[in-house]
Amino acid sequence: MTSPTRPAAWLPDPLDDALVRYWDGHRWTFHTAVRQVAAPVPAQPRPQPAAPPPPALRPDVAAALDRARGALMGSMKEVNLLAGHLTPEERVLALTAAQGEGFGVLACTDRRLLFLFVGVVRKQFMQVDWNQAKGVFYDRTSKLFTVYTTKRTKKAVPAMAVRVARLEDAQAVAHAAQSASAAPRLDVV
In this predicted model, what pLDDT tens digit does every residue of 6-16 receive, in sequence order? 888 888 888 88
Rounded-to-integer distance, Cα 116 and Cα 60, Å: 17
Structural domain range at position 17: 8-37
80 falls within a domain:
yes
Same domain, 66 and 18: no
What is the average pLDDT score of the chain?
Answer: 83
Listed residue (155, 112, 156, 162) closest to 132, CA to CA: 112
Tell me, what's the pLDDT at 115?
93
Mean pLDDT of 52-64: 80
Number of domains in the chain: 2
Listed residue (90, 95, 125) closest to 110, CA to CA: 90
- What confidence tier does 127 reach under pLDDT thresholds 50, 70, 90? very high
**Lowest-confidence pick of 9-13, 34-38, 106-110, 147-151:** 34-38
Rounded-to-integer distance, Cα 186 and Cα 188, Å: 6
25 falls within a domain:
yes
CATH of the domain at 108: 2.30.29
Identity of the highest mean pLDDT range in 6-10, 42-46, 123-127, 174-178: 123-127
Mean pLDDT of 137-153: 91
pTM for this structure?
0.67
Tell me, what's the pLDDT at 106?
92
Same domain, 76 and 111: yes
